[in-house]
Structure 1
Amino acid sequence: MSSENRITASFTVPPELSDRRLDQAAAELMPEHSRSRLQSWVRSGALTVNGSACRPKDKVMLGDVLELDAEPEVQVSWQAEEIALDVVYEDEHLLVVNKPAGLVVHPAAGHAAGTLVNALLNYAPEVENLPRAGIVHRLDKDTSGIMVVARSLIAHTSLVDQLQERSMGREYEAVVVGTLTGGATVDAPIGRHPNDRKKMAVVANGKPAVTHYRLIERFAAHTHVRCKLESGRTHQIRVHMAHVKHPLVGDPVYGGRLRLPKGTTESLRDMLTSFSRQALHARKLTLEHPETGEILSWEAPLPEDFTGLLAALRTHARELEQNEL
């Protein structure tokens, strides 16, 4: 639970985190906080183990209780900017936005300004006092769609709990390379790529990750799918679909070289070569309201570039059928 002016949390160390460093275990249990911030809380005594202060490198054991009681920290380096937001819903606890492709979520090296956080600080200044400006889950820069932001500590705690308990429903739509014959589940752990630290990959020692996908529409050499997440690993859908040999159209990192289907028309070739982002859209979000307990759900319509891609694939498939008659 979190009071109005403090960040508080309590966790019991599970078997898989036993004998890990305190800062590593804390990062697994509280992924919404940065490792450096967790370490500073450990050093200051704000994050304790069984009621006692420890060092970040100290080991924790099964059943140990980690307790956090800290003052919110203002992100003084993040500046408010007047950037238009597509607000789908808002109240005193929640802000739900439809993020366009191309908008970076958090300020970072190379993106110190012009991010969703900068826009949020202007639209809802109170998020300045929340961890990561109220953002509890994020979308990649070039992924479009629905996101929820906490506007209060009560909401922040509730949303983080829902994500950890996997009770928050998140549905995505994607266009993948290849023709799928049916839906399936990808249950494969994800971690840093062993040779390229900028990429993620399916690796034996990665974090558990589960993606369910179902067919929406099949084209001549591509498939429109709906994906549901059980976990929320970095690049999860992109990594999992590439792992099963059906990478997302336009994915610059996991898609490999562009493959044009048989009988590609000039219009479809132009669409596929110019589609410069992964064809991934966060379509629907369902969660429990942190104050009322009401189950709420929102949807973001497919953006214009996505619907244009679907139209081009549909036209190509229809032309191929007509040529075969």
Structure 2
Amino acid sequence: MTRTIKLAGEIPPELAGRRLDAVLAQMFPDYSRSRIQQWIDEGAVEVAGERPHLRQKTCGGEPVLIRVSLDDPGRDVAEDLPLDLVHEDDHLLVINKPAGLVVHPAAGHPQGTLVNALLHHAPELAHLPRAGIVHRLDKETSGLLVVARTLASHTDLVRQLQARTVGREYLALVQGALVSGGTVEAPIGRHPVDRKRMAVVTGGREAITHYRVEERFANHTLLRVNLETGRTHQIRVHMAHLHHPLVGDPVYGGRPRFPAGLSDEAMAILRGFRRQALHATRLTLEHPDGSGSRRWEAGLPEDMEALLQALRTG
């Protein structure tokens, strides 16, 4: 079974002078550079109404149109699952994802994911790359996530993410007492030994995290974190790199630290918190319809709120 897709956009002026295949791979990150090269060779790509050659350089501002037929395995099925919709219009959806919900189907999670729920709520998303999802949250991270509802919106949101103009703010509870905020600028890549983990590594991809102190506790700190880049596990890796890992993080958290004098009840809540204490609380972007900047917020989920209250009362 095949389906025809159409990708449209305009080459950003700041990418002028670069090879076309590299530019298109950046504009449409859901498709590899090798696949885009194949489409150029097949004549499926038009730039300013003409078929380009593979090594053509861009001028900036040219309209791009790609029409191609793709195999559709039909693997992702629609499922009637609950969705916490913070916002919905003809161009996009904003979801408040609960902890424990996987975003994309994969081995071990073929169903019961956010994608399955989205396909039931908005079946037209089946025709978009990754069902319209332009950024993701880890399974055990809660909070706001934007989903494009049209191809034009998808292209626009991906461009905003690449330009680093999308504001993504998180609340993170970390181990240890931080005196002040700061910035972590350390490249992230695959761990050299454990390929399932990420790490700060020489030659990794640029990663920049800004943080400031929101609330202090005896041996923990609540941080308000802003992402400048969006690498896999970025906040979790950067906080562990500072030796202040997220509370409950099963991968990067290390041994939990318990402040002296904590009540048995508070200790039980802290011990029982088995996910990274991370919540995407605020999302800011330019609406794809051209109406200007929009902002959405989501309060802390009950488990994180209970954890903070336990630390406040001791």
TM tier, smaller = 0.7 to 0.9
Q: Which amino acid aligns with 1:70?
A: R
Moved more, 44-53 or 240-249: 44-53
2:237 and 2:269 map into 1 onto residues whose CA distance is: 23
Scaled by the length of structure 2, the TM-score of the pair is: 0.86
Unaligned runs of 5+ in 1: 55-59, 317-325
Q: 1:70 aligned to 2:67?
A: yes
- Tell me the equivalent position of 2:92: 94
State how 1:122-137 maps to structure 2 within 5 Å: 122-137=120-135
Q: Which amino acid aligns with 1:86?
A: D
2:90 and 2:308 map into 1 onto residues whose CA distance is: 38
- Tell me the equivalent position of 2:277: 279
Alpha-carbon distance change, 124 to 315 in structure 1, aligned in 2, over 3 angstroms: same
1:69 match: secondary structure = strand
Q: 1:256 aligned to 2:254?
A: yes
Does structure 2 conserve the Cα–Cα contact (< 8 Å) formed by 1:189 and 1:208? Answer: yes
1:296 and 1:247 map into 2 onto residues whose CA distance is: 31
2:184 match: secondary structure = strand
The alignment of Structure 1 onto Structure 2 pairs a total of residues equal to: 304
Unaligned runs of 5+ in 2: none
2:96 match: secondary structure = strand
2:306 and 2:43 map into 1 onto residues whose CA distance is: 54
Does structure 2 conserve the Cα–Cα contact (< 8 Å) formed by 1:95 and 1:151? Answer: yes
State how 1:172-251 maps to structure 2 within 5 Å: 172-251=170-249
- Tell me the equivalent position of 1:82: 80
Alpha-carbon distance change, 216 to 249 in structure 1, aligned in 2, over 3 angstroms: same
Post-superposition shift, 1:269?
2.2
1:28 and 1:292 map into 2 onto residues whose CA distance is: 22
Any idea what the Cα deviations from partners look like across 1:202-250, whole Å, max 9, x if unmatched? 1121111111101110000000010001111111111111111110000
Q: Which amino acid aligns with 1:98?
A: N
1:157 match: secondary structure = helix
- Tell me the equivalent position of 1:298: 296
- Identity rate of aligned residues, in percent? 56
Alpha-carbon distance change, 72 to 235 in structure 1, aligned in 2, over 3 angstroms: farther
- Tell me the equivalent position of 1:320: none
- Tell me the equivalent position of 1:151: 149
1:196 and 1:13 map into 2 onto residues whose CA distance is: 40
1:8 and 1:308 map into 2 onto residues whose CA distance is: 46
Post-superposition shift, 1:256?
1.1
Q: Which amino acid aligns with 1:260?
A: F
Post-superposition shift, 1:293?
3.1
- Tell me the equivalent position of 2:310: 312
Scaled by the length of structure 1, the TM-score of the pair is: 0.84
Post-superposition shift, 1:294?
1.7
